[in-house]
Homo-oligomer: A and B are copies of this chain.
């Protein structure tokens, strides 16, 4: 399983991903799911991946090859982030279809594309296995792929467009912590990337291993705060009506 979060804020982007992949619980490996694309300096593009690893690796490989071979459509030639979402969606659906036809097995995958092209807005898209995509809204400034439910309540509570990059990063780590506690197939290292609007380069890129003191402090402090909050909840009423 996988868990990736893409948050699109007034201040820029916060992208967070785990690194555990598994093909059955007896085949667990560690792969980064955050690809900072090596594009021209007029743009900053990140692709996070969830689902079948063969599919997502072949999509990333194709994106690199199209840039290297200067295909007419590639990450450097397209002028809008939405066009890039379309281009990547096409590659994704073709890859999935190819292996479905030969094997009957559907190697599904979902992607989060986020970034900015000079002169354009910061954008984030979630690309479905069918090749279509959605973006964020004023009310829902984040996207999730993979094991999204355990960690959703905390995002719903704390994230809005005006949240700072730093606060959103902490919130995404809490969301990741809740997910790791309930699903053993989501695991560290946890990557967190902060992108500041109009900078066209990454601001900070953390990679927290399981024993990183900050990841441990987040886990312990959140547990402590929740416990303390729970202890101060109002008691059940005596009256049952």
Residues of chain A having any CB pair with chain B under 8 Å: 149-150, 152-154, 156-158, 166, 169-171, 174, 178, 181-182, 192, 204-207, 214, 217-218, 221-223, 225-230, 232-237, 240
Contact = CB atoms under 8 A, between A and B. Distances in A.
Overall SS of chain A's interface: helix
Contacts of A157: 181, 223, 226-227, 230
Residue picked from A204, A225, A235, most chain B C-beta under 10 Å? A225
B174 A153 contact: no
Contact of A233 (B225, B229, B236): B225
Contact of A149 (B150, B156, B227, B233): B150
A182 B152 CA distance: 7
Given A223-B157, A233-B225, A234-B217, A240 B150 contact: no
Contacts of A204: 236, 240
A235 B214 CA distance: 9
16 contacts: A149-B150, A150-B152, A150-B153, A156-B181, A157-B181, A158-B226, A158-B230, A166-B236, A170-B235, A192-B236, A218-B234, A222-B233, A225-B228, A225-B230, A226-B226, A226-B229
Given A181-B156, A229-B228, A230-B158, A236 B169 contact: yes
Contact of A236 (B214, B223, B240): B214
